[in-house]
Structure 1
Amino acid sequence: MRGETEEMDETQFLELSKKMNKFPLLRYEELPDYMKDNEYILNYYRAEWSLKHAFISLFLCHNETLNVWTHFIGFLAFLLLTIANVTHFYLVADFLQVSKWAFSSNHPLNNTRQMISSYMDTTPPPIEVTRWPLFVYLGGSMFCFVSSSLCHLFSCHSHHLNCRLTQLDYTGIAVMIISSFFPSIYYIFQCNPLWQFVYLGIITVLGILAIGVLLSPTRMSGKYRFIRTLIFVLMGLFGVIPTIHATILNWNAPQRNAALGFESAMGFFYLVGAMFYVSRVPEKWKPGWFDLVGQSHQIFHVFVVMGALAHYVSVLILYEYRSRVSCE
């Protein structure tokens, strides 16, 4: 009886919203076909909203609110990290305080702990190492997060804009994947310029091809989705090759396990997030219960941000190692 009352109240709320507002919140079955993506999210949809009202909805409650904000907060976090690195304010750049929880005082990787803790010192590292690969990753991550936020915020405007923003969203993912390779490969293989050139060249070519496919005018057919998924899988699998090579090359480096640990954490976060994204759990279990909070796409966004931050810490370890250990 209580469930029927709650459902009735929700229906009355939506009907009242239609009567009072020019841009009401809709139910799933009232959406145009191009917006019907997740049948387990039943209510609180925006459709055919003006750009002005879509922007204002950034501060309103609907089923895309948290999807917008989870990645917009990620964008702000990486913007702060970029500013911290530009200004050499290492205390902020090390805001994760990884040295306090990643390694105990008697841990065999205590040397790595001391290495990471050196970021607490505002003095620059003794060996000057270029930081443009780090900024490539920071920039790629910010582009991904802001593209995702824009897509979730303005896709309710029209079919045409929905398609274009979806392409932008997936292009942002590709750019983030590509940019994440640059600092790792550059710092690990800095003393091996041939492999540095080979790996960065391959990922750049793969990235250009991926973005070309993602920005093509092809409609969002099943074949297109398959090709898009295959591209992301191939880009991810390519990372296994330089990782194995780097592990062998730096087998005796004390920072090896620490960097691999955070890279493994990144992979774990991305994998778990992808599982939520594909399975559409938990809303699949209880349709309508997670329309506003707790839906799979929101969880996916959170895990993506966590994975990106884990990779950032790994890059910090590699940067610090390279700044203190010369090729000689």
Structure 2
Amino acid sequence: MRVCGDRKLRDSQVPIEYREIAIHSGYRHPGLTFSQSLESLFTLHNETFNIWTHIVSLLLYAGYTCHFLLEPRYLSDSHHHAVLCLLFSCCIFPFCSAIAHLFASMSPVVRHSCFMLDYLGITMYAFGACIANNIHALPRAWQGGIFERFFLLFMFISCLVCIIVSCHTRFMPRNQKKTKVLRFGAFALPYIFGMLPCMYRVLHCREDNSCQGATYYNQHFFDTIFTVLSYGAHVPEVIFPGYFDVFFQSHSIFHVVVALGTFHHLQGIIVDMNTRPLHDHSFLPCSPALPLISLVVLNMCIVLYFIRKMHTHHYKCHSERSH
């Protein structure tokens, strides 16, 4: 891997929308072509490890999914399809994020569009995790109650709200506090609600005599707290500005710990699938994949609408500046 020569710029040499907090150098040249963006995958710049951490995560989860598919019982039993939904979403969201970081320097429109697709991958993972939680991790005290009956529906709506709000923030000033609060809140809502069954299990696992799976959920929440604090505080680069422009910046660490937290949640689901008795899910669709597919189709339509709006917005601004 070679250092990205003429594309390695300082923050003062790139537009403000490309700059990252406390990252002073290592920026690729704005306006890269598609082929130049692909070439940058094998050069050193301040997005290199943001891209590769997701690529490695994608490969690991793709391999895990293939291993899972080799077990005939997982394909024949529809209850196990919930884990397949989770595994599939575990592959999609790092893929979308890797694409976003890889092509972020092509143009402002491409940058915004790619990160909107990134948001699509995140909401897909959130809903895939929710499906698995509903089938395998739901506390016994909640089974058959109002929470279970409306769990997927509320999560479906919250994911739609999340994608709409997060895409809308791409039209707002980047460094404005309101923008950060809205985007953080948009992602926090489906995460917190979707993980409520696991939170309850961590606190009351003895009620179900199923603390083995809850142990993994506890590790998942520890990973989540660490990532939120590190990513939100931009540690370590804000403490030592300029020293972590390429290696060990908070966003790369964030990717690694997110992948680890995802793995811990997945392990807890698999333990619960193999050790906890299944209960009646007669009110759910015949396949857990149907709600996930429906969400992906609707969210894709929303993302395409905002991408089209972004193109129109930038074309209008460019025309106004030309005159």
Instruction: Give the alignment's TM-score, normalised by structure 2.
Output: 0.75
- Corresponding letter in the other structure for 2:71: H
| Aligned twin of 1:143 | 92
2:171 partner SS: coil
Counterparts in 2 of 1:101-250, with a 5 A limit? 124=73, 128=77, 130-189=79-138, 192-193=143-144, 195-216=147-168, 219-221=171-173, 222=176, 223-239=178-194, 241-243=196-198
Aligned equivalents of 2:197, 2:244: Cα separation in 1? 40
Within the alignment, does 1:69 sit opposite 2:24 as a pair? no
Cα distance change, pair 247–229 in 1 and its aligned pair in 2 (3 A): closer
Q: Does the 8 Å CA contact 2:9/2:26 hold for their aligned counterparts? A: yes
Q: Does the 8 Å CA contact 1:282/1:290 hold for their aligned counterparts? A: yes
Equivalences, count: 270
- Corresponding letter in the other structure for 1:36: R
Aligned equivalents of 2:258, 2:91: Cα separation in 1? 12
Q: Which has the larger radius of gyration?
A: 1
| Aligned twin of 2:274 | 320
Q: Does the 8 Å CA contact 1:151/1:168 hold for their aligned counterparts? A: yes
| Aligned twin of 2:25 | 43
Q: How much has 1:185 moved relative to structure 2?
A: 1.4
Q: How much has 1:193 moved relative to structure 2?
A: 4.7
Q: Does the 8 Å CA contact 1:190/1:196 hold for their aligned counterparts? A: no
Aligned equivalents of 2:220, 2:258: Cα separation in 1? 8
Q: Does the 8 Å CA contact 1:186/1:196 hold for their aligned counterparts? A: no
Q: Unaligned stretches of 5+ in structure 2?
A: 281-323
Counterparts in 2 of 1:274-313, with a 5 A limit? 274-313=228-267
Cα distance change, pair 144–287 in 1 and its aligned pair in 2 (3 A): same
RMSD over equivalenced CA pairs, Å: 2.7
Aligned equivalents of 1:41, 1:244: Cα separation in 2? 35
- Corresponding letter in the other structure for 2:160: I
Q: How much has 1:240 moved relative to structure 2?
A: 5.8
Aligned equivalents of 1:271, 1:248: Cα separation in 2? 16
2:216 partner SS: helix
- Corresponding letter in the other structure for 1:264: N
Instruction: Please give the per-residue CA displacement for 1:57-77, whole angstroms capped at 9, x wherever unaligned.
Output: 111111111110101111111
| Aligned twin of 1:34 | 17
Instruction: Give the alignment's TM-score, normalised by structure 1.
Output: 0.74
Q: Unaligned stretches of 5+ in structure 1?
A: 1-12, 19-23, 90-123
Q: How much has 1:313 moved relative to structure 2?
A: 0.3
Instruction: Please give the per-residue CA displacement for 1:96-120, whole angstroms capped at 9, x wherever unaligned.
Output: xxxxxxxxxxxxxxxxxxxxxxxxx
- Corresponding letter in the other structure for 2:69: V
| Aligned twin of 1:57 | 40
Aligned equivalents of 1:171, 1:244: Cα separation in 2? 25
